[in-house]
Structure 1
Amino acid sequence: MSFSVVVMGVAGCGKSSLGAAVAQAEGLPLVEGDDFHSAESRRKMAQGIPLTDDDRHGWLTELGRQLQAHAQGVVLTCSALKRSYRDQLRAAVPGLRFVFVDISREDALARVAGRGAGHFFPSTLVDSQFATLESPVGEAGVLRVEAASPLQQLQRQVSGWLHGKAAD
């Protein structure tokens, strides 16, 4: 069984950790969406300037190519904050599924602030992420999980959902 899934949510929700756990459990490659931001977008974010739809368009196009390049299935981490962004990724890979890692603003702020100075995304941008977020709850092919749950539990929940089994 092959499938492609996007682990999505605001900064600090745990996309990378959950994506890596799911990829390992499912034997799928992991594509870190952040690795494909342009140098200009990274500069903007590092300066505390939120990205615009225009900034994200080329990035999402490239992520669509990355999804298409992994016909055997892949786990992609990507904020995918707006429905239009998710629809752009869905257009690249029919049947694409999304795991929405839901987190409170306070927890996201604490997690991003705890990353340290080496990360390009400052905690000052967390509010802009929540302002941009259009919840995917109710869209087809979306599983919502709680960011505060233990990582192993989240991975089992996602794997069970991907295989059509009830999650614990």
Structure 2
Amino acid sequence: MDELVERIISIINQREQNTLFLSCRTPSQINQGISGFLYNKHIHLTEVDILFLERFIKKDDQDPLVKWLYQSYDYDCSLTFELAFSNTDLIPNELFNECSVKLLNNQGKQYFLFPNKVITYQKIAMLTQNDILLLAANQLVTDLAKDRLQEKKVIVVEKDASSTFRRNLMKKN
């Protein structure tokens, strides 16, 4: 009996480390049903375009990949989407607020968007130069947070009043 328990614990520990990589353009793994979830804690989807993001947000049950990815939440999987486009203006806010998805650009930098009106040091303390902070037009950043963003060389993309994004590093005022 102890051998069986050890084997199960080993499989569970291995699963925690495993990542299943799929392409959004050729999602062959979804035909295998739940086996991908049983052996992989993390699902990494590459070549994700804006049309797929829209279907994902709308929980389009006609799209087999979307349906399969939502099923992964039942198995406590984490999702990472590697975007195939660079225009951050096209990234829907719902992905950060309603969907539990990690978003990366094609260079592996992770996007972060916080719903708070004021972004504090506490919110951004763990961000690094491998992260991109998206700011809405009406969000404010405390001076201490600005200092930290500049110190860590975090890329900040601000949404201006005309809803366009411009890339810059935080400047001290």
The alignment's TM-score, normalised by the length of structure 2, stands at 0.31
The alignment's TM-score, normalised by the length of structure 1, stands at 0.32
Task: Return the structure number with greater relative CO, CA threshold 8 A, min gap 6.
Answer: 1
More strand by share: 2
